[in-house]
Amino acid sequence: MRIKCFFFLILLLIEMGCVSAGILAVQPPAQLDGQQILKNVRETYKDVESVKANFSQELFISLTDEIQKSEGNLSLQSPDKFCLIYEEPEKQTIVSNGEKVWFYDIEMEQVIIREAIVVDPALNPLTILTQIEEKYEAQSKGEAKVDDKECFQLLLVAADSVSAPAVKEMTIWVDETNWFIRQFQIYNENGDYTVYTLRRIELNPDLEEEKFKFEIPKNVEIIDET
């Protein structure tokens, strides 16, 4: 579950992470419906090249009524490079150079190597987000605060015309002042869902290529699935 949700997070941020505010001439909030808000989000977030941020993740498991919490930081370079470090509760590092992905579990002293496309090809951002207005219907759920920031709350449901969507339903919280996505929630078929909250976002930072190269530590188990 963590790998799939994590990978969707990466792809979503690469495509929609954040860019500079104030570039759109938009209607006042009171005049906007769900589809108009979604259009503004898509237009605002189309030019991102790189992102750094801290994140928190909460996985709600319906069967056991359990909540699993984790947090860490991420670095993204469009179109397909990323480095994500889980700090709590378990230290894990996940790195991709666009061709391969390394999953390093520090406590287990284990590294899993996979082809990037094998991680979850159905979650390619080009299939989800470049045509998000056509593929998802947005329903306004009013307003709510995320970290004391006023946000629009939108429920996105895959349109009936979309066959086998990678994500059938999700909720996003959009900052009313700059159209940033502050939080999003992904649902699965079991009734479980994962909530991501983004903080301390840096827009288009200069990221060194070394960030997206992984050197396998000594004396670890290596599982090469490439």
Per-residue model confidence as pLDDT tens digits over 185-206: 888 777 788 888 988 888 788 9
User: Cα–Cα distance between 119 and 127 in angstroms, integer?
Assistant: 15
> pTM of this prediction?
0.72
Which residues have CB under 8 Å from 83's CB, separation 6+?
74, 75, 93, 94, 95, 96, 211, 212
- Give the mean model confidence (pLDDT) for residues 119-133: 45
Sheet architecture: strand order including 100-105 = 136-146, 149-158, 169-175, 181-187, 193-203, 50-61, 66-77, 81-88, 92-96, 100-105, 110-115, 221-224
* Residue 181 dihedral angles phi and psi, to the nearest 5°: -85, 110
Q: What is the pLDDT of residue 112?
A: 95
Q: What is the pLDDT of residue 124?
A: 38
| pLDDT(220) > 90 | yes
Residue 103: which region, alpha, beta or left (left: phi > 0; alpha: psi -120 to 50)?
Answer: beta
Q: State which H helix or E strand residue 53 sits in.
A: strand 50-61
Residue tagged 């090469």 (tokens): 224
Q: What is the pLDDT of residue 76?
A: 83
pLDDT confidence tier of residue 213, bands split at 50, 70 and 90: very high
SS3 state of residue 97: coil
Q: What is the pLDDT of residue 179?
A: 83
Residue tagged 């070394």 (tokens): 210
Proportion of the chain above pLDDT 70, given as a percent: 75
Ordered by where they begin, the domains of the chain are 2-224 (2.50.20.10)
Q: What is the pLDDT of residue 108?
A: 93
pLDDT confidence tier of residue 6, bands split at 50, 70 and 90: low
Q: What is the pLDDT of residue 118?
A: 54
| Residue 49 burial (C-beta neighbours within 10 Å; 0-12, 13-18, 19+) | middle
Please say whether the beta carbons of 138 and 121 come within 8 A: no
Higher pLDDT, 19 or 66: 66
Higher pLDDT, 166 or 109: 109
